[in-house]
Structure 1
Amino acid sequence: MMSLSLIVKREFVAKVRNKSFIVMTFLSPLLFTAMAMLVGYLASVNDDEVIKIAIHDESGMLEPDFKDTKKIEYVNLSEMPLAVAKEKAAKSYEGLIYVPKVATPLELEKKVEYISDESPSMDFIDGVQDVINDKLFRYNLEQKNINYEEIGKAKAESEIHLSKFSGEESLKWLNEIKIGIGFAFGYLIMMFIIIYGNMVMRSVIEEKTNRIIEIIISSVKPFKLMMGKIIGTSMAGILQFLIWAILGTILIFVVAGVFGMKVGTGAVTPEMVEAGKNSMGEMQAYLNEIWNLPLGMMAGCFLVYFIGGFFLYSSIYASIGAAVDSETDSQQFLLPIILPLMLGVYVGFFTVINDPHGTVATVFSMIPLTSPIVMMMRIPFGVPVWQIIVSVVLLFATFLLVVWFAAKIYRIGILMYGKKPTYKEIFKWLKY
């Protein structure tokens, strides 16, 4: 036990004192904050950008229906010959909407053409088609002597009142908030496994390449060495994550305080005050719902699945590091590790949000290779305790089984040099 604690301490200290570890620990939150601010700035620049679209309407039926928006300005070139309009549009405008001469609007259904050297966005094309469709719809109503304005007045917008069987109010976007929280937890676990699992593997490869491992292995068993590396690296990773969380929270408040205030004051109308009250009331309702979530269980389960998932995958990473001589050789073995993690994210995101208690979501929250991600996405929706217990037991039982197999690979591969192992050879090692 003493040798294990020494290895854990050695790995932890080696990681924490590493210059790149220290720099990235304190620099990463700043980089992410700067990147978020840059993305926000670029998005605001794009919002202010207005594109100009030329229109050549020989029929005179559609041009009045194209209205300028915040992002699009329409310019009428219908008075020019088509060839001249095309030439001018090619030089000065984003594109040209060409409407041929027709007898009735119905003939426009498939004859309108958009001319541009650049491929237009789907939103723009949908907008043009909406204008054409609305024109045809109005024309069809006129042919049937139906008043379009009366149809507009007859339309109604309903709103479903959501509540629980207990009589409590429920909110429209609550499921999206739950899946967002669950996805954040699951994604953190996946990123931690990938980043620090690779760190475990690189540490093994480095010591193996430098032949330091031959000295270490003479005084400690391979199994203890592998477990020491996994535990020491995980402790360094948890420390780094805690520092990121603290610095990230501080930076969020600082950025919100510095850039969140609007300069100047404008006239405040009673309508704005009422809208503000409604939005604040709705926000308070969402905050109450979030507070009513099983936050304690979510935090506890996050820690359990965080540790279990990392230990499970890190033992595989360590065995791969022992089996190869360089990171290049390890690439062929990494895909089988990444695939279950990706599968867990996609299953969780596309299945849990629609049916968190369905068969697919339940099964994948039990499978150890995907349970740390999928179960964390299910827990905000409420999961029976017995399912969590079964999932955790299976996760740690699989971890112990994988550690047993990984130790066999580690014990043999740690002292092998100059040969690229195949899956067949690694399978033979398991029999020794």
Structure 2
Amino acid sequence: MSIISLIIKREFFAKVRNKSFIVMTFLSPLLFVAVAVFVGYLSSMKADLKRVAIHDETGLFANEFIALNSQDEQYKYLDLSQIDNQFLKDSVANNGYEGILVIPKTTTMADLENKIEFISNTSPSMSFIENAQEIIAKKLTKINLENAHLDTLAIKKAQAHVNINIAKTSGEQGLKGLNEAKIAIGGAFGYLIMMFIIIYGNMVMRSVIEEKTNRIIEIIISSVKPFQLMIGKIIGTSLAGILQFIIWVIIGLSLLFAASAFFGVNVGPTAHLAPAIVEHSPTEFAGTAQLYIKELWNLPIASILIGFVVYFIGGYFLYSSFYAAIGAAVDNQTDSQQFLLPVIIPLMLSVYVGFFSVVNDPNSTIAVAFSMIPLTSPIVMLMRIPFGVPWWQLAISIALLFGTFLLVVWFAAKIYRIGILMYGKKPSWKELYRWLKY
């Protein structure tokens, strides 16, 4: 058995036999599912009704708000126009009401537009204010039209409501919001890669620092080349991480299925929205759902899965080389902070580019460029794949990723070779550059 395979085996079993690794492997899915169930439970709970008093001196708007009581689950409007305004203000101060909407009587309707007040102890939400403004504006518009002796019914009938249907060149029906579903799929895979790189890259760095601190590295390095040791650590730790990730997925999905099927618990923040949609128009919802399933099934699933595996491996190995070099250059995790920022910035940048550029135009110059740059391609390219990427762009991106990985490994091995035997001094960027020339 080769030396590298022995190191891989040693690192793998050292990780999986660790008590904290075993505990977190089986405890983390339980915590994730518990949080998902708790969020689903909270989202299904109705919020406390907030009572809003309406003091309408014109007598024209109160009924417009009262009519909303049967629809609004958050606010209950009460027509208290006959009660003294000061008494209502005192009630608001004593938390008897969420607030009071004061509509004064003015000489003209034009004067009323800027005289309405909402009095409250706390700042109301923007959605509440905008909704109230819209209700009053519609009523004022109707009154203005009537005062101008215009037929409001005819005007309402004349208003056009445009609904643009989406179709493909093949004649098949298209769907709205499909791009958002694609970016969600690509974003989920990209986010998994980023989290895996950060979590298990740090694990590689801690392993190197621990061996330096215990002076074990001096014994190991006498019979193993630094490059072999670094590659073995990276691969061994990644295999342990993949095993832990697979266990998380199996246990997590099993628990979610059990919670949903046997206990009738909805999970996720939007779980309570689905029944309302179905009840609103069951036939229409079922047909639309089938179209979405068909469209999602037509996505390049094989390319997405293969791309995830390839970019997962390439991205992890690339960044793990940085983490291993950093671990060899410092004596403790505190000293590593100055070197970690340049490693984290490309990961964060790729997430922002993905969500703000790919979602708008997956074939834009920015999206294509960052899907080629090796430090950002594992995340950005995965977000582009669901939209369809030319094979030559995939080939160039993968070649650059693994080519850069080999180049970084070569540079990292130089730092690793010298850094693992350096103690008691925090190196500067200038010193790291000198190590590269040895």
Q: TM-score, normalised by structure 2?
A: 0.92
- Cα deviation, 1:251-284, whole Å, max 9, x if unaligned, reads 232122124489xxxxxxxxx8994343223222
- Aligned mates of 2:55, 2:172 — CA distance in 1: 58
2:54 corresponding residue in structure 1 = 55
- Aligned mates of 1:191, 1:379 — CA distance in 2: 20
Pick from 318, 321, 333 the counterpart of residue 324 of structure 2.
Answer: 318
Q: What are structure 2's unaligned runs of at least 5 residues?
A: 267-277
- The answer to whether 1:167 aligns with 2:171 is yes
Question: Where do residues 130-209 of structure 1 align in structure 2 (5 Å cutoff)?
Answer: 130-209=134-213
Shift, 1:291, TM fit = 1.6
- Aligned mates of 1:273, 1:3 — CA distance in 2: 64
Contact kept in structure 1, 2:259 and 2:265, CA below 8 Å: no
For the structure 1 residues 147 and 421, does the alpha-carbon distance in structure 2 shift closer, same or farther, using more than 3 Å as the test? farther
Contact kept in structure 2, 1:61 and 1:105, CA below 8 Å: no
Contact kept in structure 2, 1:348 and 1:374, CA below 8 Å: yes
1:123 corresponding residue in structure 2 = 127
1:387 corresponding residue in structure 2 = 393
- Aligned mates of 1:393, 1:367 — CA distance in 2: 11
Pick from 75, 79, 88 the counterpart of residue 78 of structure 2.
Answer: 75
Identity of aligned residues (%): 62
Shift, 1:400, TM fit = 0.9
Shift, 1:133, TM fit = 1.9
Contact kept in structure 2, 1:54 and 1:89, CA below 8 Å: no
User: Residue 76 of structure 2 aligns to a residue in which SS?
Assistant: strand
- Cα deviation, 1:216-267, whole Å, max 9, x if unaligned, reads 11111111111111100110111111111212222232122124489xxxxx
- Cα deviation, 1:97-132, whole Å, max 9, x if unaligned, reads 222331222212222222222222111111122123
User: Residue 130 of structure 1 aligns to a residue in which SS?
Assistant: helix
Aligned-partner residue type, residue 101 of structure 2: I
Q: What are structure 1's unaligned runs of at least 5 residues?
A: 263-271
1:363 corresponding residue in structure 2 = 369
Shift, 1:156, TM fit = 4.2
**379-388 or 1-10: bigger deviation:** 1-10
**127-136 or 84-93: bigger deviation:** 127-136
- Aligned mates of 2:425, 2:100 — CA distance in 1: 64
User: Residue 110 of structure 1 aligns to a residue in which SS?
Assistant: coil
- The answer to whether 1:295 aligns with 2:301 is yes
- The answer to whether 1:257 aligns with 2:261 is yes
Aligned-partner residue type, residue 254 of structure 2: I
Aligned-partner residue type, residue 52 of structure 2: I
Aligned-partner residue type, residue 9 of structure 1: K
1:16 corresponding residue in structure 2 = 16
- The answer to whether 1:374 aligns with 2:380 is yes
1:276 corresponding residue in structure 2 = 282
2:357 corresponding residue in structure 1 = 351
- Aligned mates of 1:374, 1:296 — CA distance in 2: 18
Shift, 1:183, TM fit = 0.7
Shift, 1:215, TM fit = 1.3
User: Residue 327 of structure 1 aligns to a residue in which SS?
Assistant: coil
- Aligned mates of 1:153, 1:324 — CA distance in 2: 75
For the structure 1 residues 36 and 396, does the alpha-carbon distance in structure 2 shift closer, same or farther, using more than 3 Å as the test? same
Contact kept in structure 1, 2:322 and 2:412, CA below 8 Å: yes
- Aligned mates of 1:225, 1:175 — CA distance in 2: 44
- Aligned mates of 1:206, 1:386 — CA distance in 2: 43
- Aligned mates of 1:407, 1:256 — CA distance in 2: 50
Pick from 403, 424, 428 the counterpart of residue 430 of structure 2.
Answer: 424
- Aligned mates of 2:162, 2:263 — CA distance in 1: 38
- Aligned mates of 2:120, 2:355 — CA distance in 1: 38
**98-107 or 379-388: bigger deviation:** 98-107
Contact kept in structure 2, 1:51 and 1:72, CA below 8 Å: yes
- Aligned mates of 1:15, 1:101 — CA distance in 2: 75
- Aligned mates of 1:103, 1:160 — CA distance in 2: 44
- Aligned mates of 2:154, 2:295 — CA distance in 1: 42
Question: Where do residues 333-348 of structure 1 align in structure 2 (5 Å cutoff)?
Answer: 333-348=339-354
- Aligned mates of 1:259, 1:152 — CA distance in 2: 49
Shift, 1:357, TM fit = 0.9
Taking only aligned residues, the RMSD between alpha carbons, in angstroms, comes to 1.9
User: Residue 139 of structure 2 aligns to a residue in which SS?
Assistant: helix
User: How many residues in Structure 1 have an aligned counterpart in Structure 2?
Assistant: 422
**170-179 or 138-147: bigger deviation:** 138-147
Contact kept in structure 2, 1:108 and 1:132, CA below 8 Å: no
**101-110 or 289-298: bigger deviation:** 101-110
User: Residue 329 of structure 1 aligns to a residue in which SS?
Assistant: coil
Q: TM-score, normalised by structure 1?
A: 0.93
User: Residue 336 of structure 2 aligns to a residue in which SS?
Assistant: helix
Contact kept in structure 2, 1:105 and 1:135, CA below 8 Å: no
Shift, 1:154, TM fit = 3.0
2:27 corresponding residue in structure 1 = 27
